[in-house]
Amino acid sequence: MKIKEFTYSKYKYKYFLIREDRKTLGLTVRPNMSLVVRAPKNCSQEKIDKFLEKKWLWLEKQLDYFKKYQKKFFEKEYLSGESHLFLGRQYRLKVIRGKKDEVRKEKNRLIVETTGLVGNGFHNKKILNNWYKDQTEKVFKKRYLKVQKMFSYDFVPTLVIRKMDKRWGSFLSIKQVILNPELIKASTDCIDYVITHELCHMKYKNHSKQFYTHLKSKLPDWEKIKEKLELRMI
C-alpha cells in the first residue's frame, strides 16, 4: 500500500493505493474522509488518474456528505448503543446502574456499570477510559514478552505506552520501545507487528533493505498485517 496524490483542476487529494489481484479499479471514501483506491497489479498510474478524473464529481459529493456528518460519526457520547473497538473487534456499549464503576465484556458487548446516572456520558467515558488503560497495560506487556522471544538480544528496551499523533510505535536508542495506546483497538497480530518492527530497529536503525529483510525473517507476512492495521484505523 502506498500513499499517492491526485490533482484535478484546483483540487488536490491524497489517497491510499492498494494493488491486488482484481480486474477493475475501485474507489472507497471512508467516513473520516480518507480515500482508498484498489487497482489491478499491472494497472498504470495514467489509467488510475483518468479513473479518478471520471470519479471526481462523485468523490466531491461523498467528501461533502462525510464532512457534513463528521461530528456525528466521530464524536462519542459514551451512551448505550455506541460501537467501540477493542483488539480488532467492534463491541456495542451498554451502560447500566451498579454498585461500583467497572467494565466487563460479554460476547459482543462492553457493559459499563456506573454508580452515577446512565446518561452521564462524561462519567461513563472516565470509567471506559480507565478500563482501556488497564487493558492496554496488560495486553501490551503480554505481547511484548511474547515477541521478545523471537530475538536474541542481550538487552531488551523498556516498554513505554505513550500517545502519539502519527505513529503506532517508536524506538528510542536502545532504551525504550514506545507503543501508542490506540493500538489496543487493533488485533493482536497488528500489535505484534508494531512491536516486532520496533525491536528490529535494535539491529538496523533506519529503514534499509537489510532492515526489511530482517523484519521479514521474523514476520514473513508483515506487509499484509501492516495493510490491515492501516486500513482498520484510518
Q: Which tens digit of pLDDT belongs to each residue from 50-92?
A: 999 999 889 988 888 777 766 555 678 999 999 899 999 999 9
Interval 139-167: pLDDT, tens = 999 999 999 999 999 888 999 999 988 78
Among 16-20, 28-32, 130-134, 187-191, the minimum mean pLDDT is found in 28-32
**62-to-14, 65, 179 alpha-carbon distances in Å:** 15, 5, 34
The pLDDT score that the predictor gives to residue 123 is: 96
Residue 38 or residue 234, greater confidence: 38
pLDDT tier for residue 179 given thresholds of 50, 70 and 90: very high
- Residue 172 bridge partners (DSSP): 176
Superfamily of domain 138-233 in CATH is Metalloproteases ("zincins"), catalytic domain (3.30.2010.10)
Domain locations in the chain? 2-73, 75-133, 138-233
Mean per-residue pLDDT of the chain: 90
pTM, whole model, 2 decimals? Answer: 0.75
The pLDDT score that the predictor gives to residue 173 is: 77
pLDDT tier for residue 3 given thresholds of 50, 70 and 90: confident
- The answer to whether 103 touches 112, Cβ cutoff 8 Å, is yes
- The answer to whether 52 touches 74, Cβ cutoff 8 Å, is no
